[in-house]
Amino acid sequence: MKRWLIAAALAAVCTSATAAELRIRNQSLWDIHYLYLSSTNDPNWGPDQLESDILEAGGTLRLHGVSCGNYDIKLIDEDSDVCEMRNVRLCGDKVWTITSEALLECQNRR
């Protein structure tokens, strides 16, 4: 799939040399339909990491070649609610978990 290429392109903008698989776990009550990443230094969103897939509630997404660094993340759920999280520390070989509480808090800030 194209996902590992997209993640590798994002990794190139980070200063860390370590890159590995990043797992994103959706422990929220909602399916995630779009997931965008960008380096905190980039004003533009990268491509949708899910492409035509859905990160279902309880599901896990694996991205390859993600360097440790700070990212901005944009999530859009099944109800078209948008959540933008800024300056999130992501690192390969780790799990980043999406919770219902985090999504609700993020959406309430808009």
pLDDT tens digit sequence for 12-71: 444 444 567 889 999 999 999 999 999 999 999 999 999 999 999 999 999 887 788 999
Mean pLDDT over 77-105 rounds to 91
User: Phi and psi (nearest 5°) for 10?
Assistant: -65, -35
Q: Domain residue spans in the chain?
A: 3-108
| pLDDT in the model for residue 94 | 85
pLDDT band at 11 (very low <50, low <70, confident <90, very high): very low
Q: Which residue, 68, 66, 55, 69, is CA-closest to 98?
A: 55
Q: What is the DSSP string of 70-99?
A: EEEEEEEETT--EEEEEEEEE-TTSEEEEE
What is the model's pTM? 0.79
**Confidence band (pLDDT; 50, 70, 90) for 86?**
very high
CA 85 from centroid of its chain's CA atoms: 9
Q: Which CATH class is domain 3-108?
A: mainly beta
Taking phi over 0 as left and psi of -120 to 50 as alpha, with beta for the rest, 53 belongs to beta
The SS3 call for residue 66 is strand
